[in-house]
Amino acid sequence: MKLEVTDLTKRYGKTIAADGLNLSLESARVLVLIGPSGGGKSTLLRLLGGLETADSGRIVMNGFPLDPQEDALQAYRRRNGFLFQQFNLFPHLTALRNIVLPLEKVHGHPPAQALAMAEQALARFSLLDHAAKLPSQLSGGQQQRVGIARAVAHQPDVLFLDEPTSALDPEMTAEVLGLIEKLAAAGQDIILSTHEMGFARAVANQVAFVSAGKIEELAVPELLFTAPKSPLCQKFFSRVMRY
């Protein structure tokens, strides 16, 4: 995965979520965004995924500029996968139908092919026995795994994950983080935001510290976690790594 972000700006009213943000990434399998709450991680993730459009600036993903025209954005979104802080499963559909439906309606696969792809995705994450269950009949970790299965069923170019464990207890968090680590090991390009510092350090090729709408520091995890250069990053780690 190669990424170039130049002078990216995004405002919501008087709030500046991205403030002339710049990011240059030559090659990485997994980019992890860390930083304080409200610093701009989720906004940056949504901008990179084409779910939001910048007020100004430029994004180039794998050599191709992100076109802000709606038709181009829709095509870009279809090539990628997304998972948000909430599970966002359709409550009235089974786990299987939650995956089949977007394969048919968004990606245009015929029903038989969509069904086969959905069953394969569930089997990959040890969920096939839960295919006929509604989300309310699944644990939080199972719901999140279904969400990940749905996001990767169409083999996305890049998987975008926004705080994928924020609503989970410690045991389920470990389960989902292990699943994401396996996806990365299998070759899936991933951009994710997280507050799980141990996981970020273990799975990332590059870690970006995002604060006040800017990239304060970008480095491999071995350097960023042991010898951060930015005073803001140093202050952040002094707080979150204390216990």
Distance of CA 135 to the CA centre of its chain: 21
Distance CA 112, CA 99 (A): 13
Angle formed by the axes of helices 95-105 and 111-124, nearest 10°: 130
Q: Where are the domains of the chain?
A: 89-155
Distance CA 13, CA 202 (A): 37
Tokens 């990628």 identify what position? Answer: 80
Distance CA 107, CA 152 (A): 12
Distance CA 227, CA 216 (A): 14
Please list the pLDDT of the chain residue by residue as tens digits (243 residues): 999 999 999 999 999 999 999 999 999 999 999 999 999 999 999 999 999 999 999 999 999 999 999 999 999 999 999 987 777 899 999 999 999 999 999 999 999 999 999 999 999 989 999 999 999 999 888 998 899 999 999 999 999 999 888 777 888 788 888 888 889 889 999 999 998 898 899 889 999 999 999 999 999 999 999 999 999 999 999 988 876
**What is the per-residue pLDDT for 181?**
86
pLDDT tens digits, 172-195: 788 888 888 889 889 999 999 998
**What is the per-residue pLDDT for 243?**
65
Phi and psi at 21, nearest 5°, equal: -70, 140
Do 99 and 122 touch, CB atoms closer than 8 A?
A: yes
Do 115 and 85 touch, CB atoms closer than 8 A?
A: no
